[in-house]
Amino acid sequence: MSQNLYAQFEERFPHDDGAPAMALPDGRIVPYGELKVQSARYANLLVSLGAKPGDRIAAQVEKSPCAVFLYLGALRAGCVFLPMNPAYQSGELAHLLGDARPHVFVVRPQAAAQGRELAAQAAVPHVLELSDDGEGELAVAAAQHAPRFATISRSADDLAAILYTSGTTGRAKGAMLTHRNLGIGVSTLHKFWGFKPGDVLLHILPIYHFHGLFVTLHCALWNGSAMWFEPKFDAKRAVALLPRSTVCMGVPTHYVRMLAEPGLNPEACREMRLFISGSAPLLPDIFNAFRERTGHTILERYGMTEGGMFASNPYGGERRCGTVGQALPGVSLRVMNGEGQAAAPGVTGQIEVKGDNVFAGYWRLPEKTAEEHTADGYFKTGDLGQLSKNGYLTIVGRDKDLIISGGLNIYPKEIEEVIDALAGVRESAVIGLKHPDFGEAVAAIVVREAAAVSQPQAEEVVQAVKSRLASFKVPKSVYFVDDLPRNAMGKVQKNLLRERFA
């Protein structure tokens, strides 16, 4: 039987072709019937361009219904979808195109000249334009193709997508995701998070990333749900849409911004059954403030491009602040100490995972793939964490963020928590800076509350850490900034801080 992910979605689509799939800010509704027809047209277009099963279809476009039609069309044609962050510049694009060698590259008109040049260098046969509002060459070409397409059979191990991971060091690597990885991933989340008929999803994430594409969009399609399909996140609009939504998935920044909206209250959330956060740590202050304001406890989960979701707080049970919950069904998750043994509860170690949702390896990098796996088949996530006695996982940071000062391991999060608790501090990032004696020295980058009555000075930050933690963890330097640099998924870009304060 075909394991094509699209076929699995289509089986679950509502029987009524008129049932809404996407509702757009301009009032336009894309019904499920149109998803079927348009994805067929796009699949026919790709085949007419000579795309064969296994060929990559790359897209550097904004979030629009056409981007979704293209993705589904690529799946139907048996191709491998390769979404790219619109923020990628020519160096990054050249690497991705040269590495993935797509058959088709879809670009925004404003980046088309550069896109065509880079595509020519990488011998990409076809370049088509799609504008931010979903118009242009690609949409026009697709409209000329037939509205029916027999979805091409795929086996579970065939690739459905390649997502390049941001990789703060070195070159981006393509994480290969199979139809099995994505199918198991979405069916697990759908069940675990209690999706039910009538759910309406508030879709505020970009769709070039795992979170927006393979968690949020997939859950809605698997459930045959309607989505508020927001091309860009706007906190005021998001809060205005809450009374007509039941599930929202976001990154912590979204929740911070929603909290700044006076309209966020229990009445606005009366239809909501679930708020989910992930991709970056949800600070306890935000978790608590959101609960106080709305009566809802945000469910935090943990995952990454290399396979999706690994752990989640429960839908029914206790959602524990500061943790990402327990391993999801079907995922085997362990925390290992430096000696290759399971770390005791409460002890920090490397997080490793195994499961059918975990990716099939890095594209054209078998050695790197082998390096990142253990002999017994676990993927080394590169994240550091601790498990509680009953299996709740706390993320402590990335192992590359680990600071080694005078030969001692220092986990930034422990220090950040002390600094964040100081009155007048909004948030902080602790990094290691090169030091002639210690190898690395602890530096604290602190954002103060603009409206604080008295703003803490460097000496108070140092004293606070000194009074609570071992002396080798005390920052040697403290810098104040207005904001921490974050990427679109809300992750603090510590690499930029390390460069800036080097």
Sign of torsion, CA 330 167 165 158? negative
Of 193-212, which residues contact ligand AMP (CB under 6 A)?
A: 210
Residue nearer to ligand AMP on the CB measure, 477 or 495:
495
d(CA 131, CA 331): 39
Q: In angstroms, what is the minimal distance from the CB of 209 to ligand AMP?
A: 7
User: Does 114 contact ligand AMP by CB under 6 A?
Assistant: no
Q: What is the largest CA-CA distance in the chain?
A: 71
Site size for ligand AMP, by CB under 6 A?
17
20-23 and 226-229: which strand pairing?
A: parallel
Binding-site string for ligand AMP from residue 480 to residue 499, where x marks contact by CB under 6 A and - marks none: ---------x----------
166 near ligand AMP, rule: CB under 6 A: yes
Does 381 bind ligand AMP (CB under 6 A)? Our answer is: yes
| Distance in angstroms (rounded) separating the CA atoms of residues 417 and 430 | 10
Stretch that binds ligand AMP, among 22-30, 113-121, 297-305, 326-334 (CB under 6 A): 297-305
Q: How far is CA 136 from CA 107, 115, 141, 477, in A?
A: 10, 15, 9, 52
Q: Is 250 in the site for ligand AMP (CB under 6 A)?
A: no
* Number of CB atoms found within 10 A of residue 302's CB: 26
Token representation of residue 129 = 């334009």
Asked if 279 touches ligand AMP (CB under 6 A), the answer is yes
Question: 17: Cβ–Cβ under 8 A, 6 or more apart, which residues?
Answer: 31, 32, 33, 36
Binding marks (x or -) toward ligand AMP, 395..424, rule CB under 6 A? x--x--------------------------
d(C-alpha 466, C-alpha 470), whole Å: 7
Distance in angstroms (rounded) separating the CA atoms of residues 380 and 377: 9
Candidates 268-276, 278-286, 440-448, 459-467; binding stretch for ligand AMP (CB under 6 A): 278-286
- As measured in angstroms, the least distance from the Cβ of 470 to ligand AMP is 24
The DSSP secondary structure of 151-191, one letter per residue, reads PPP--TTSEEEEEEE--SSSS-EEEEEEHHHHHHHHHHHHH
* 181 part of the interface to ligand AMP, by CB under 6 A: no
**Cα(439)–Cα(437) distance, rounded to whole angstroms?**
6
Residue 98 CB: number of other CB atoms within 10 A? 13
- Judged by CB under 6 A, does residue 348 bind ligand AMP? no
Give whichever of 42 and 302 is closer to ligand AMP, judged by the CB atom.
302
**Quick one: 119 or 395, whose CB is closer to ligand AMP?**
395
The stretch among 35-43, 63-71, 300-308, 465-473 that binds ligand AMP (CB under 6 A) is: 300-308
Is 105 one of the binding residues for ligand AMP (CB under 6 A)? no
281 vs 412 by CB, closer to ligand AMP: 281
User: Residue 463, interface with ligand AMP (CB under 6 A)?
Assistant: no
Q: Which is nearer to ligand AMP, 87 or 470 (CB)?
A: 87
Handedness of CA 196, 199, 204, 207 (dihedral sign): positive
276: left (phi over 0), alpha (psi -120 to 50) or beta: beta
Report if residue 392 touches ligand AMP, rule: CB under 6 A: no
Please state the closest distance from residue 163 (CB atom) to ligand AMP, in A. 8
User: What is the dihedral angle through the alpha carbons of 387, 393, 398, 401, rounded to the nearest 10 degrees?
Assistant: -70
Residue 280 makes contact with ligand AMP by CB under 6 A? yes
Taking the complex as a whole, the smallest distance from the CB of residue 281 to ligand AMP amounts, in Å, to 4
Contact residues for ligand AMP (CB under 6 A)? 165-166, 210, 278-281, 300, 302, 304-305, 324, 381, 383, 395, 398, 489
